[in-house]
Structure 1
Amino acid sequence: MSDVLAVAEHRRGNLRDVSFELVTAGAELAGDGDLHLAIIGGDVDAFAEELSLDGVDAIHTIAEGDEFNHDVYVQAVTALYEELGPDYVLMGNTVNGLDYAPAVAEGLGIPLVTDAIGLENDGSLVVTREMYASKVESTVEVDADNAAVTIRSAEWEPTEAAGEPAIEAFDFELDESRVRSRVAGFEEVGGGDVDITDADVLVSVGRGIEEEENLELVQNLADALGATLSSSRPIVDNGWLPKDRQVGQSGKVVTPKFYIAVGISGAVQHVAGMKGAENIVAINTDPDAPIFDIADYGIVGDLFDVVPELIEQFE
């Protein structure tokens, strides 16, 4: 039994998926203990309503700013930790989480374990992580009573069941002199025409496409499905698609309703970025390709034969 403080994440007026995954991970880690959820900045009341989920015992809202700010988050999480005295602090292993988590852990004098894909608490905290481009799993036993942990996105199912947590505003004295930066705005990178993390359907292409001019065929399939085009790393390395279209450990983690992998073998680095999809469809000539190990539906065949047939059917 442990008390856990999880810190929700939001961006541009919307809660990030990892916030709902943190509820699942936090409830599992807390067991019979209490799960506290912190919401810092933005429309805290609306976010609190969305995050009133099963497993959450209390939500603490902190109305400071609209967007993520390192200095505000460090002060707010530290103050709330000192007020509640939880055993563990959970944050997302995201751009934001990795920005402030080390400062929080350092300030509190507690160990930090990043990129967790599994958590166990049987008298002591044991964190499962992946190493060597996800080829090896390792376990880290934390030799301390308290710790901070960041969890990898898409490793826990998001909690959806409603709950009735207590919701209260947490007031603390923000030291404005220590807030040395402000969010001036957002700028999309790598072309910025789409955000593949928001897509419900992704058609992803790999090295099996052979030539850049063949991308048009897969784009036509995506258009027929009303889907977004994404890719594995070789396509981006070749300069055929921008970096913001890359799925995988060195790209983006995606959790669409449908993920259609066209000519992708299923290297562990790519799988790490898409295994959380609700439905996975794989098209590959190799029946032993690793992608079929995680696919819900598989088509063994030449993509240059299969994709035109699919386009015809969907059109």
Structure 2
Amino acid sequence: MSDVLVVAEHRRGDLRDVSYELVTAGRELADELGGDLNLAVISGDVDSFAEHLDRPGVDTIYTVEDGEEFDHNVYQSAIEELLSRTDATAVIMPNSVNGLDYAPALAESEGIPLVTDATAIAYDDGLTVTRDMYGSKVETTVDVAGDRFALTIRDGEWEPVTGVGDATIESITIDTPESGARVTGFEEVAAGDIDISEADVLVSVGRGIEEEDNIDVVQELADALGATLSASRPIVDNGWLPKSRQVGQSGKVVTPDVYIAIGISGAVQHVAGMKGSDTIVAINTDPNAPIFDIADYGIVGDLFDVVPELVAQFE
């Protein structure tokens, strides 16, 4: 009983990036436990999803064809069945709206401990989970008792797996208990414009912009780069940009190829939402701003001088 089961996530016909990160996290834990990595693909176009998730390190992919979108009862029943079949030590799920819906019910029904929002995991005669608390101001470690356990992981903390694998793919059927509730469709909530979590390049504006009208200065840089405009919380709280553009713990977690932070000091809540970016560029007048601690490149200067110069260079 040393295998690991990870649960993929999809929405509107597309696998979410965290599914590939789950494979990385699951493989690392399976290696420490000395077991196999099994992957569950539940609902939707399971055959296509399984093909995309057949990556190095995955031993077996189990597909459960039942409905198109997420359904609490289907997911819980499917995972319970797979845990019974594989006798897995650990089940790892995304720390998403969907994952946090079924994970507690699954842990309760299986009688196993659950640790949510993990940012690192390690096993050495017992499981140790790293997670943030108090608005990411404190990093804590949790020692988990018991021979079996459940985890949800924060997206953006593990590198997504790449390459082509040779996993065994097995289709299973389940009996979903009647509960009086059943998902029959999916309705997208109006987000206002775009999904910043999908952007390759983000130009993010913070309190240093001073006035709403000055956002146009940063928008010009975003346009010159073919980038997407995002913001820190003060900009959204002021009503200068919609909530859909907010990066941070109370906004969205983003992992673009390039993240340009303009007039952003680097509060821990904001950093928690963008620290997984491949390359971070910071522009700030304060040389001691915390954002420079994580930036790959830093420019100490007035954004109203620096940004127009950058626009001229890229146009």
In structure 2, C-alpha distance between the alignment counterparts of 1:246 and 1:90, rounded to whole Å? 27
Unaligned runs of 5+ in 1: none
Residue in structure 1 matching 2:150, options 142, 145, 148: 148
Q: Write the deviation string for residues 50-81 of structure 1: whole angstroms up to 9, x where unpaired.
A: 11111111100111111111111111111111
Deviation, 1:183, is 4.2
Q: TM-score, normalising length from structure 2?
A: 0.97
Which residue of structure 2 aligns with residue 10 of structure 1? 10
Q: Write the deviation string for residues 185-242 of structure 1: whole angstroms up to 9, x where unpaired.
A: 3223341x10001111111000000111111111111111111110011111111111
The alignment status of 1:133 with 2:153, answered yes or no, reads no
Q: TM-score, normalising length from structure 1?
A: 0.97
Instruction: Judge conservation of contact 1:71–1:179 (CA < 8 Å) in 2.
Output: no
Structure 1's consecutive aligned runs of 4 or more residues displaced over 4 angstroms after TM superposition are none
Instruction: Judge conservation of contact 1:61–1:168 (CA < 8 Å) in 2.
Output: yes
- SS of alignment partner, residue 120 of structure 1: strand
Which residue of structure 1 aligns with residue 294 of structure 2? 294
Instruction: Judge conservation of contact 2:73–2:176 (CA < 8 Å) in 1.
Output: no
Unaligned runs of 5+ in 2: none
Deviation, 1:133, is 0.9
Instruction: Judge conservation of contact 2:248–2:270 (CA < 8 Å) in 1.
Output: yes
Query: Which sits farther off after the overlay, 182-191 or 146-155?
Result: 182-191
In structure 2, C-alpha distance between the alignment counterparts of 1:248 and 1:274, rounded to whole Å? 7
Instruction: Judge conservation of contact 1:189–1:244 (CA < 8 Å) in 2.
Output: no
Q: Spell out the pairing of 1:1-315 with structure 2 (5 A cutoff).
A: 2-31=2-31, 32-175=34-177, 177-178=178-179, 180-191=181-192, 193-315=193-315
In structure 2, C-alpha distance between the alignment counterparts of 1:163 and 1:285, rounded to whole Å? 48
Query: Share of identical aligned residues, percent?
Result: 66
Deviation, 1:172, is 2.1
Deviation, 1:174, is 2.5
Deviation, 1:157, is 0.7
Call closer, same or farther: CA 1:59–1:179 in 2, change over 3 Å.
farther
In structure 2, C-alpha distance between the alignment counterparts of 1:76 and 1:172, rounded to whole Å? 6
In structure 2, C-alpha distance between the alignment counterparts of 1:264 and 1:121, rounded to whole Å? 37
User: Number of residue pairs matched?
Assistant: 313
The amino acid of 2:114's aligned partner reads L
Deviation, 1:90, is 0.2
- SS of alignment partner, residue 98 of structure 2: helix
